[in-house]
Structure 1
């Protein structure tokens, strides 16, 4: 039996509790109770969530857990001495420790991330790095496993982390069954970006959205302004003007960003060669893709590909 303790505190982000469903469904997929879950807090009793309702918890004590996970928060709050003491003691007996979102800051305060690679929600990554310079913060990651420490980005990344833990414990087949039951992809790779080009562009009209959707589905095409304008049912000149006004980018820059995102996803989820990735995402050749990656990430694709394989 894998005993999992979820550590909460007043105001913790309620979405973190969604990971419980992964462990519940893993029990069903395995046809036996593999996981048990306990909500823990320093004082025990009811603890208020970020959504304004309370959950019942057990107080910290001497019980041992296979896995302890610190929930995240919408804000960065001071870590109590009692929490730090509990985690330091638990690190001596617990098989693995982890965090969601700002829970990484709690682990860092306890000294458990010193010299380790870790991630958190992108909007708190810089604060984590400044406050704890011994931590190797990688802000654009869904989750990271370094030794017995697992850290995840914020919000829905808790489900990705839970699926990764299930896969580690019970194998890929059980994790796939759980992912299907959850109606999610199996599973976002740990090294996958927290960001989405389509979300960041935020077009305001259906015509520009239609052009972007067409581009995403036809990356191997040339995707000239004329081709995109036709998808948007606009003249090329009008399309370029409206596109820039709505997205703040030129069509060429937006298409390059979509190609970079697609190329990175291919490297995160498969073992494709650089040449195949460049061809399938419309770059045409590896040198053009290399230049685009350096503009986007400051690193060539080979470096990111190696890092993703280490993370996974």
Structure 2
């Protein structure tokens, strides 16, 4: 378990490094992962050896609760990030994978696929987000908890196989609304305040009731399963101290990577191939 978390942290650290300084050595093929998150859109580029070589991300509001609400805006943003990375690497990025929240394929899988294709990519796979995260975490037993902007997705694994997935409303948006109310400020200003890690210690007591609600969702979803470890991913999991509240409330040992926001996008990129799906 320790080794898999260390490998995850190493990969995340490598990605953070290439976001700042892309590896411009030519690769015979590039694999891209596109994560259309509620709060942030992330693109990860890997070389033929599935090593991170470049990445870009931008906070946006083109997705709400896992659903695209600004179709044109989403296409424009993915195109913009794609071109930025193509210019940096002096290549054309052709192949991409993407992911959707668990149990939402019938609702929005087609829309997300259309956005990626309209931005100029060939789609090679569409995963559910916790499964994508486990491409990086590589856990055999436990629950991956993806706390996104609008929802919390939970994937329970037993002997390396997913035995249950769920997705429930409550995530970063609810934390931001709580901050906005407590500070009598706008949603936008509250969101910016939340992103600043210097403010996390101050915000934690304010946000504790919402985090405890997320913890109750986790407890309910894992009931009846032998879950001894939780693994937090997703942008909202970046909140300093969130893992301690969740561990205390659920009574389950809780692990958090160095930067939970990048685990799922990296896992998406690792699933990319050069075999296009219909």
- Shorter-chain TM-score above 0.5: no
Higher normalized strand content (fraction of residues): 2
Higher relative contact order (CA 8 A, sep 6+): 2
- Considering only CA atoms, is the larger Rg found in Structure 1 or Structure 2? 1
Q: Normalised by the size of structure 1, how large is the TM-score?
A: 0.27
